Amino acid sequence: MTAHPASSAPPVPQATTRVHEPRREDCPWCGSDRLRNRLRTGDLRQYKPGSFTVDACRECGHTFQNPRLTMEGLALYHRTVRGAPRDPASDGLLALRGSPRRHRSAARAMLRCGEPESWLDVGTGHARFPATARQFFPYTAFDGLDPTPRVVRARTADRVEEAHVGRLTDPRIAAPLRARYDVVSMLHHLEGTPDPRAELRAALCVLRPGGHLLIETLSPRSVFAALLGRWWLPYDQPRHLHLLPPQNVRAELESAGCTILTLDHRPVHVPHDLAGATSLALSHALPAPDTPWRAIPPPPSSGTPARPCSARACPWSPWRRWPTTSSPR
């Protein structure tokens, strides 16, 4: 009998856990049945088990995970296992995604609208954006909403005045906040929500008349989406459920009676996208010996080359921002 060393990998989810909804045959945005497959991939960032498919609608261009994760599955793939080794490449990608420079740029987009009295940041996480935006709006009351308890810790750290745990589409959350805020911000939030259209409508409900909605989202029409395939960082499977074309978001807001004040598009940043994809690919092909979810660590020599590349992970560059969108007329 041959004895194998015990694996140091975190436990694999139970097979009875339902992580996927039934596969859709139509587009969740426009209802068209003209779908095409864009890619199939695994979890390239956290290396957790599973296979995921991303489809796109030929009619409206909406790109979405199909079949989509259930709420239980989404929580599973967002969860960090206590005691599991951390992947420096993933940590670097997440840190750069919420960089102070990007947050300052988003906050400056609202300067033309004057200083608001109240501001809700949806999907705030640790509330680093409100902490940065306060440099430009020192007299604004910032509140935070997030599905995780991170926002509670952010309130303890005085980054927000009120912390709301949950989703804006939950009536128990939205009802007390109705028509309460001058500004609602959603920075890279819609991609990870089960129903982006419902999130937009809920955001408009908590705005005061004449309020403003600040959205920052990723465009699936980036040239690097086709060039890099599954290594394109914004796909981020399985955590990103939707990628919304800018014209779809604009049409949805205008149909709700909003006026688009500014639409800002940041051009593709070639070095960032290529270096980020290279880092992700090398971290996957040559993982460090203590990489999470790897059952059998590779020889020490094969894990070494991946480390220099992990420090070069780059920010999520192709995005669209709707800096100032007024509430329904």
CATH number for 143: 3.40.50.150
Give the Cα separation of 97 and 122 in Å (integer).
16
Is residue 255 in a domain?
A: yes
pTM: 0.81
Task: Indicate whether 58 belongs to any domain.
Answer: no
Q: Is 200 inside any structural domain?
A: yes
Average pLDDT over the chain, rounded to whole?
A: 82
* Mean pLDDT in residue range 29-53: 92
State yes or no: pLDDT of 296 exceeds 70: no
Reference 57, options 93, 28, 89, 83; nearest CA is 28
Confirm whether 205 is domain-assigned: yes
User: At what angle are helices 246-255 and 196-205 packed, to 10 degrees?
Assistant: 40
Indicate whether 161 belongs to any domain.
yes
For residues 216 and 188, is the Cβ–Cβ distance under 8 A?
yes
Structure tokens at 166: 């949950």
- What's the rounded Cα separation, in Å, for the pair 56 and 79? 27
What string of DSSP letters covers 159-218? S-SEEEES-TTSHHHHHHHTT-EEEEEEES-GGGSS-HHHHHHHHHHTEEEEEEEEEEEE
What CA–CA distance (Å, rounded) separates 50 from 237?
A: 10
| H or E segment to which residue 300 belongs | helix 300-303
pLDDT at 177: 98
Span of 16-25, 34-43, 82-91 with lowest mean pLDDT: 82-91
Q: Total structural domains in the chain?
A: 1
- Is residue 234 over pLDDT 70? yes
Higher-confidence residue of 201 and 313: namely 201
Domain span at residue 174 reads 100-217+243-268+318-326
CA 27 to chain centre: 20
Residue 199 lies in a domain: yes
The answer to whether residue 275 sits within a structural domain is no
Please indicate, yes or no, if residue 105 is contained in any of the structural domains: yes
